[in-house]
């Protein structure tokens, strides 16, 4: 992945962080803010996962793509334990 795409992912993560910080104050009072916050958490996790995948070598990504054990992605795959 090119450095422009990496930079774009980093900017998206920062944007989601700032939006989450703005919503954090209203989480107790507003259900809409709570829903929006949860959506931002998922989007941020997806961007982080994509950024991690850019750091893997090309050959490893290619082998992973063509491997026979294609498993479904779960939402917990986007979060580190």
Start-end of H helices in 55-76: 58-65
**CA separation, residue 50 to residues 14, 43, 70, 76 (Å):** 14, 11, 18, 14
Task: Kindly list the domain boundaries of the chain, sorted by start residue.
Answer: 3-78
pTM tops 0.75: no
What is the rounded average pLDDT of the residues 7-15?
94
Whether the per-residue pLDDT at 11 is higher than 90: the answer is: yes
> What is the rounded CA–CA span in Å between residue 40 and residue 17?
8
Structure confidence by residue, pLDDT tens digits, 45-74:
999 999 988 887 877 777 777 776 666 777
């Amino acid at each position: 992945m090119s450095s422009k795409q990496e930079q774009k992912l980093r900017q998206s993560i920062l944007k989601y962080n700032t939006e989450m910080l703005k919503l954090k104050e209203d989480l107790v009072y507003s259900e809409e803010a709570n829903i929006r916050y949860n959506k931002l958490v998922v989007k941020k996790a997806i961007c982080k996962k994509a950024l991690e995948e850019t750091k893997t070598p090309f050959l490893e990504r290619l082998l992973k793509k063509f491997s026979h054990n294609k498993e479904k992605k779960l939402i917990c795959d986007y979060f580190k334990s």
